[in-house]
Structure 1
Amino acid sequence: MAAVVLVHGLYHRPEHFATVAERLRAVGIEVVVPELHRGSLSADTAAVQAAIDALPEPPIVLGHSYGGSVITGVHGAGHLVYVAAFVLDDGESAAGLGGMSPQLQAAIIPEPGGSTSLHPDRAVDILYGDCPEPLAAGAVGLLRAQAPGCGRGVPERHSWKHISTTYVVCAQDRAIDPSLQRKMASRCNDVREWQTGHSPFVGQPDLIVQLLRKLLAPYTPPRRNEGVTTTR
């Protein structure tokens, strides 16, 4: 069975991918959506790695935003998909690349213990500004506090250098500058650009579903311990 692993970003939950997951499962695709918020990039990467290892064949792994930092560090994926996400190279971190826009930085609220949350009203505009109001309100309601330091994490491996990759630039993004996205996209084999905000899985989930189904249609998962080599 074809399989997809969906990896959310900072402040988000697996439930943000619920519609995408439901529509993929309806056509027979196995979907796993790991919970992050493990306290560090290395711990989040380990959680996604466990999900990949539990599948019988190497899956397509999609990372959104900070989720790109996470999927960069995994092994055993058959294809990586970055959606407005961080494709990090040696020594790089999301924070080091200037990951958050000024608008997103201004929306951050300090919480006890060093964690942070997002101001709900500002989050609507920054993360879901192109989404229908009921969907945006539901997505904001799912947001949770974020432990400090994850965005400063540096991946221990860089799987995009060894397997095939797709990057989706979200051209109307107010959270991560589209020009930074295009720079990171140049590291990938296949680049798409959508006229969406930061979170197309909320406002236009069929874009994600259609992309993954297209990638899966000709996709034959490599055997375990075999990477998909590409020429860059």
Structure 2
Amino acid sequence: MPPNTKSLSPKTAVLVHGLYHSPAHFDALVDLLRSQGVQVTVPTLHRRSLDADTQEVQAAVDAHSTPPVVLGHSYGGSVITGLTGAAHLLYLAAFVLAKGESAASVDAATSQLRAAVRPDNAGTRIDPTLATALFYADCPPETAARATALLRHQLPGCGRGFPGRQAWQDTPSTYVVCTQDKAVDPRVQRLMARRCTTALEWPTSHSPYLSRTSDVAALIQHQFDNLAEE
């Protein structure tokens, strides 16, 4: 039986963060989902290659007793594209890559993102004075300040990786286009969204899991409801 048609009991989810970010950026969403009875795992990326990051997330998917709904934010979309065994793929301002594409090659980075990236030893970082406007423009000030403080150094290599498979070709998927995104060009998001089963548009910045946490949780729960009806 295909993974997406199995009964989802218990409800499980895997959340995959983007470049410069960390699992702690998902804390509010994790707390809300757990309060709703969802078992949540948030792997840590930044393992110097897309392949290594994908292996880490695949291990988290495989560890669940039922196929999880998997959310990928930004670069996290590149990671979840290479997975097997997910019940549903949820792309949040994320990269839905075809064969031979990388996050770098689809040219989705805005001029604002390029301007905010600074050299940092062997890697790069985001200028903290530009982070709120870039990632968290519609978040409360205290939320944006915490999220900025959590941003981390990024080693090179991840964004140039090619997924080993295209999971969106055989797994149901949903894309959320963030129309006010200043990091990943919404025009490119719309092109990638065409590859998914369904697509939505939200008038949000790059990080709706912080600005619209309850809406993201509801979207995840909606996937559980859909899967239970199949």
Residue in structure 1 matched with residue 115 of structure 2 by the alignment? 106
> What is the percent sequence identity of the aligned residues?
51
What is the Cα deviation at residue 160 of structure 1?
0.4
Q: After superposition, what is the alpha-carbon deviation per residue over 1:155-196, rounded to whole angstroms, capped at 9, x for unaligned?
A: 011100011000000010000111100000000111111010
Which of 12, 19, 24 pairs up with 1:3?
12
Aligned with 2:226: secondary structure? coil
Residue in structure 2 matched with residue 226 of structure 1 by the alignment? none
Distance 1:143 1:221, change over 3 A: farther
Which of 170, 193, 209 pairs up with 1:162?
170
Q: Does 1:64 align with 2:73?
A: yes
Q: Does 1:144 align with 2:152?
A: yes
What is the Cα deviation at residue 221 of structure 1?
10
Per the normalisation by structure 2, the TM-score is 0.94
Residues 3, 30 of structure 1: 8 Å contact kept: yes
Residue in structure 1 matched with residue 7 of structure 2 by the alignment? none
1:193-208 map, 5 Å: 193-208=201-216
Which of 25, 30, 48 pairs up with 2:39?
30
What is the Cα deviation at residue 215 of structure 1?
1.3
Residues 58, 221 of structure 1: 8 Å contact kept: no
Which of 48, 57, 70 pairs up with 1:48?
57
Aligned residues: 221
Q: Does 1:19 align with 2:28?
A: yes
Residues 170, 193 of structure 1: 8 Å contact kept: yes
What is the Cα deviation at residue 217 of structure 1?
1.7
Residue in structure 2 matched with residue 127 of structure 1 by the alignment? 135
Q: Does 1:211 align with 2:200?
A: no
What is the Cα deviation at residue 220 of structure 1?
3.7
Per the normalisation by structure 1, the TM-score is 0.93
CA distance in structure 2 between the partners assigned to 1:27 and 1:156 by the alignment: 34
Compute the RMSD of aligned alpha carbons: 1.2
What is the Cα deviation at residue 197 of structure 1?
0.4
Residues 7, 34 of structure 1: 8 Å contact kept: yes
CA distance in structure 2 between the partners assigned to 1:219 and 1:74 by the alignment: 18
Residue in structure 2 matched with residue 75 of structure 1 by the alignment? 84
What is the Cα deviation at residue 218 of structure 1?
3.0
Residue in structure 2 matched with residue 171 of structure 1 by the alignment? 179
Aligned with 1:217: secondary structure? helix
Aligned with 1:6: secondary structure? strand
Residues 4, 29 of structure 1: 8 Å contact kept: yes
What is the Cα deviation at residue 99 of structure 1?
2.7
Distance 1:221 1:44, change over 3 A: farther
Segments of structure 2 that go 5 or more residues without pairing to the other structure are: 1-9
Aligned with 1:169: secondary structure? strand
Aligned with 1:182: secondary structure? helix
CA distance in structure 2 between the partners assigned to 1:147 and 1:99 by the alignment: 19
